Amino acid sequence: MSFPGGWEWILIFVVLLLLFGAKRLPELARGLGKGISEFRKAAKEVSNEIRQEELDKPDDEKDKPED
């Protein structure tokens, strides 16, 4: 599956404009941006916690295979 090209983006934008109106589009984009940044922040925190747990493990537990 490929990403949308030029005409597809224009069509998507026109459909969004018709559905939500010109006044609501900036509000929707702002909310989407905040949601994406919150998701990235949460993903980074989880990966940092996992990395920290790996560093805190004793060396003999690191070599054992997990069940």
pLDDT value at 15 more than 70: yes
Query: If pLDDT is split at 50, 70 and 90, which confidence band does 2 have?
Result: confident
Cα-based distances in Å from 65 to 60, 61, 62? 11, 8, 8
Average pLDDT over residues 28-51: 94
Average pLDDT over residues 4-15: 87
Q: What is the reported pLDDT for 64?
A: 63
Of all residues in the chain, the percent with pLDDT exceeding 70 is: 85
Whether this prediction's pTM lies above 0.95 is answered by no
SS (H, E, C) 4-63: CCHHHHHHHHHHHHHHHCCCCHHHHHHHHHHHHHHHHHHHHHHHHHHHHHHHHCCHHHHH
Q: What is the reported pLDDT for 17?
A: 87
